[in-house]
Each structure stands twice: as C-alpha cells, then as structure tokens.
Amino acid sequence: MKLIKDDTHFDFLGKRKISLSVSSLLIVLGFAGYFLMGGFKYGIDFSGGTLVQVQINESHDISDVRAVLEDGNVGPFSLQSFGEEGASEYLIILQEAQSQTGDGEKTSAGARVNKVLKEHFPSLAIRRVESVGPKVGEELKTAATIAVLASLAAIMLYIWLRFQWRYSIGALIALFHDVLLVLAVFALTQKEISLPVVAAVLTVAGYSINDTIVIFDRIRESLRRYQKRDLLDSFNLSLNQTLSRTVLTSATTLFVVLSLYIFGGEIINNFAFALLLGVIVGTYSSVFVAAPMVFILLKRFPAKLR
C-alpha cells in the first residue's frame, strides 16, 4: 500500500537550513518556557506525596469540597475535577504522606482525607490512594533520567556500529531534538511528568530511531549504487523513496495514539499526549533533522563507502 507515488522529487535537503533553524528555535523557546513556567510539574511519582481519588454523590460544588479540606487541616493540597463531566470525581494531591490530627497524632493523609470528607459527604467513595515518600520520589527521578540518557547512549553506539559515526551523531541529535521538544511542551502546558510519561518518552525514542534507520539504510544504499551522483541528489532520492513508508507508518501510528488520547480516559491522558507529540516530532526529525545532519557531516568529513 502506497499513499505517495514512488517518483516524487521533493527537495528535502534544499530546505535543510530552514528546517534546522526552525528546530533550533523551537528548542530555545522550549528552554525559555521551562524557566518562565518555573520548571516541570512533577507527579507524585517524582515529587512525593499522596494522591487520593474520590467520588461524591451528594449535591455540591468543587468549592464546597475545597472548603471542607481546608477546615479539616489535611495540610497543603491541590484539588481538581477528574473524569467525565458530571461524574463528581476529584483528585486530591497532598504534599505529605502523613497529616497531623487535632490532638497531635499522625495518620496517613489518605485516611485523614477520608475521615474529613466523610463527615460532610456520607456517600463519599475512595477510588484510589497512592503514596510516595519524598526520598523515593527523588530516587525515581534520578533513575528516570539515567534510563533516558542510557537509552540514547545505547542507540548512538548501535548506529555507530551499524553505520558510521557521522550517522550516529545525526541520529543522536535527532533523538535529543525529539525528547527536548516533548519535554518543552510538557513544561509549557504544565502537564504532570510521571513514570508513564517517561515510558512514553522512551517509546518515542525507539519509534523515532526505527524510522531514522530505514532512511539511513536507503541513503547508504544510494551512496553505494550511485557513487558518481551528487551527494545532495543521493540524499534527496533516498528520502523520496522512503517517503511513502514514512507517511504510512506515521499515519497509522498517529491514528492509534490519537484514539488513546481522546478515548483512553484521564489516567493515561498524559502518556498518550507524550506519544502523540513524539510521533509527530519523531517523523519530522527523521527527515528534516537526522538526514540533514548526516549530509552536513559527510560534506565536512567525507567517508569511505562500506
């Protein structure tokens, strides 16, 4: 199945200065947005604390729930609606795993929330309680960072062994481009970064490098077959030959991820959002970042064909 004809002649490399400039600008804006927004908004996986999901059937307003929690001395908290409209479900996120009772005793934050709300809303139902200590949260944050960096290093080594160091650097730059743009959007939108989001970022890296390897393979084949052809023409030929495959793969993946984002529910919303961004920027980077970077490196450091 082909969505695009095989005989296209798009000048992808001719636009390399524009595409690389746009990507650089987006990354700079992402860094600026990160500092302007005060950094990332971490979920309790990384920041520590307690998350309590509740449902209330009595007639009420979210301000009523907030007032009850404030009067109940549950400690610092955030409150937000959750789920479908009219479901009367809320997420209560507390900074501490324990809270202080009126007589000085300590109890779990989840139990304290249940007791305080139950007095005013007898139909209260606790749907979910998750607690992570601050030390564990820091350890998870460190482990997640190491996992992302280690995966990028392993991919770079694989590309180096399979192709050449020029391809390896091009692929690594494209992967950093994808990861940084996804994280930049999360910083700008203040969506929570949690362990599922980290898993989505690693998935994006794997998806992006898969498409990049296909393009690199065709470029290497073209360079071997048409050794007298201009380097720019060989790159454009390879990109046009793989264009149908790239568009078809991206379109089908995008359809599935978009369905997850729209119909998957609140719990996997951020995970699906990260994947959605990753599919878009990963497809773009394979064509407009990875390939142009390899072209620039081969022009600067010509290599023997192998």
CB 293 within 8 A of CB 174: yes
Token digits of residue 65: 């729930």
Which of 132, 117, 131, 130 lies closest to 55, judged by CA? 117
CB 138 within 8 A of CB 45: no
pLDDT at 284: 92
| Model pTM score | 0.79
Q: Which domains does the chain have, with CATH numbers?
A: 13-43+135-300 (1.20.1640.10), 49-132 (3.30.70.3400)
pLDDT band of residue 33 (cuts 50, 70, 90) is confident
pLDDT tens digits, one per residue of 112-156: 888 888 888 888 888 888 777 666 667 777 888 888 888 888 888
CB 305 within 8 A of CB 229: no
Mean pLDDT of all residues in the chain?
A: 82
